[in-house]
Amino acid sequence: MKIQTPTQFLTFNDGSCDIYSVKGNKLDMKILTLCYGNRTVGMKRFYAARAASTEINRLIQIPLREDVTAENNAVIDGIRYRIEQSQNLYDTNPPTTVLTLRKVGVVT
């Protein structure tokens, strides 16, 4: 897919997150650490989640990683998040993965 110009350059300078595999209800193994950029949870996404009885706490963008899925959990600043949705965007500069996160609790 050809990227159209001008395209906004996306950054990942808001912090780092750890991606974990999950076994049962517990964090199993740390898979990787990635830099991320915060995104705004839009009204449409917020109310769609609320209608489905789900609460969206955070939306982040990471460099494109097709192996990060809803089967994983993310830990940011000691807070554990369940990945509700993973969207791969190929028409951005650079290509990114957008993660929709729901807070699970604090990592002990």
CATH code of residue 78: 2.40.10.270
CB count in 10 Å sphere of residue 21? 12
Question: Is residue 6 situated within a structural domain?
Answer: no
Question: Is residue 48 situated within a structural domain?
Answer: yes
Q: Could you list the mean pLDDT of each consecutive 10-residue stretch along the chain, which spans 108 residues?
A: 68 94 92 93 64 78 95 96 93 92 89
Question: Is residue 31 situated within a structural domain?
Answer: yes
Question: Is residue 2 situated within a structural domain?
Answer: no
Question: Is residue 10 situated within a structural domain?
Answer: no
Which residues have C-beta within 8 Å of that of residue 58, sequence separation ≥ 6? 38, 41, 76, 81, 101, 103
Question: Is residue 9 situated within a structural domain?
Answer: no
Question: Is residue 8 situated within a structural domain?
Answer: no
pLDDT of residue 52: 62
What global pTM score does this model have? 0.83
Domain that holds residue 38: 15-106
36-52 confidence digits (pLDDT tens)? 999 887 667 666 666 66
- Are 86 and 99 a contacting pair, CB within 8 Å? yes
